[in-house]
Structure 1
Amino acid sequence: MAISFTFINDIIRDYFQYRNLTSTSRIFDNELSKLSLEQYRADHIIKQLTFYIYQFDINNLIDYWTQIEQQFLSTLTINIEQIMNIFIKIRINLYRCYLIHAIKLSKIDKINEFFERLIKFLQQTNEWTKEWFILPYINNPDNNSLFQIYFSKQWNELFWISLQNFLSLALYNMTRPKICSIEEEDDNFQSFGNLICLQSTTTKPLILSTT
């Protein structure tokens, strides 16, 4: 079930106002303004990731995906080793997308920056094989048997579709804060209220299910 953060935020603000915690309320709103709402929408996350890749912004790409990982690690009830393996594969493919995009546009400075920024990480993971380190020096890599698939439109589209599906599923299964149960109770109360209003406008009795 999706979480209505607007509803929850309003509840928290009402509580602060009731307790006359005006300074706390201002701090709360200030912190909320720093939050990026797209972190709760898979399509928006994809849009932000692709933006950083197309803009050759390797630092923000790394930082943004790290934030996504940390968010999921703290809220998903899944085997930690399993989810970490998934994150590593995603991260590696994000880096492949970045590097391939830079090679296609002959951005030598961005290619050099990429390896300078990530050399230690790439050397420590088995997912990034040694062939990828020499990719920038291969002539016509899009025709190379090892890399041809990664330069194809099919691989690129499949990766982004798979990533969006994973993000959608992960976001749906995030552990909900306990305060979110208030929203469910409010919905139930509202439904009951609607039935009472309907009872007053009809001549036939309404049967409330107890199941």
Structure 2
Amino acid sequence: MENMQYAEELARDYLVFRGFTCTLQTFETELYTDIGKEFQVDKILDFIFSVYIPKFQAEKLVGLFSFFKQCFSSWSETMMLDTLLKLDGSVLRCYIVHALRSGRKDKVVEFFGMNGSDLLLKSSDWSPWFAIPYLKNPSMGPQFHVYFSNEWYAALCLSVRNIFSEIFCDTHIL
């Protein structure tokens, strides 16, 4: 972490020295919104559960998991990558459930419009989910009931915390 801060300071000094004020402003903005957040689990959880899901920022949620899958796709530990992929699907389902609970079926339809093809390519498990915005009360149906429970949400939050903690425990930042 100290190496990261030192590198950021060097970059700032260089940009100031060269007079790249616009670039410095962009650099500062990107540091502030850095999705990796120096691999701090609590900050990642805040992004997922306090920003991206409640504020219906599906594209950023998808981008976050794409970022991590790309970062860790060369791991020899394929079990961890498989777990990350499953977690990605669960977090996206959480987004859909939150949108429906908030009365925002339009966000669910928009989500499937933007990501539906990719989801179907990943897994056929997503097929029934395409009907969810059109169901009268999906939380009562046997297929979706579990996803609307507080227990499932709590387990998801814990799983996200655990997997990112394990991933970052083995990650060395230069």
Shorter-chain TM band: 0.7 to 0.9
Unpaired segments ≥5 residues, structure 2:
none
Deviations 1:155-174 (A, max 9, x none): 00111111111111211211
1:131 alignment partner AA: P
Of all paired residues, the percent bearing the same amino acid is 22
* Selected match of 1:87 from 70, 84, 91: 84
Q: Secondary structure at the match of 2:72?
A: helix
Shift of the alpha carbon at 1:64?
2.3
1:147 aligns to 2:144 (yes or no): yes
* Selected match of 1:136 from 133, 136, 149: 133
Match of 1:183 in 2: none
Match of 2:94 in 1: 97
Match of 1:38 in 2: 37
Check conservation: 2:72, 2:81, Cα contact below 8 A. Answer: no
* Selected match of 1:4 from 2, 26, 33: 2
Match of 1:72 in 2: 72
2:112 alignment partner AA: F
CA distance in 2, matches of 1:86, 1:95: 14
Match of 1:107 in 2: 104
* Selected match of 1:118 from 102, 115, 118: 115
Question: Which deviates more, 27-36 or 126-135?
Answer: 27-36
Check conservation: 1:92, 1:127, Cα contact below 8 A. Answer: no
- Are residues 133 and 78 of structure 1, via their aligned partners in 2, closer, same or farther at CA, if it must alter by over 3 Å? same
**Structure ID, larger Rg:** 1
CA distance in 2, matches of 1:119, 1:29: 38
Shift of the alpha carbon at 1:114?
0.7
TM-score by length of 1: 0.66
Count of residues paired in the alignment: 167
- Are residues 39 and 121 of structure 1, via their aligned partners in 2, closer, same or farther at CA, if it must alter by over 3 Å? farther
Q: Secondary structure at the match of 1:158?
A: helix
- Counting only pairs closer than 5 Å after superposition, residues 127-206 of structure 1 correspond to structure 2 as 128-177=125-174
CA distance in 1, matches of 2:164, 2:64: 14
Check conservation: 2:109, 2:133, Cα contact below 8 A. Answer: no
TM-score by length of 2: 0.78
Question: Which deviates more, 64-73 or 98-107?
Answer: 64-73
Shift of the alpha carbon at 1:55?
0.6
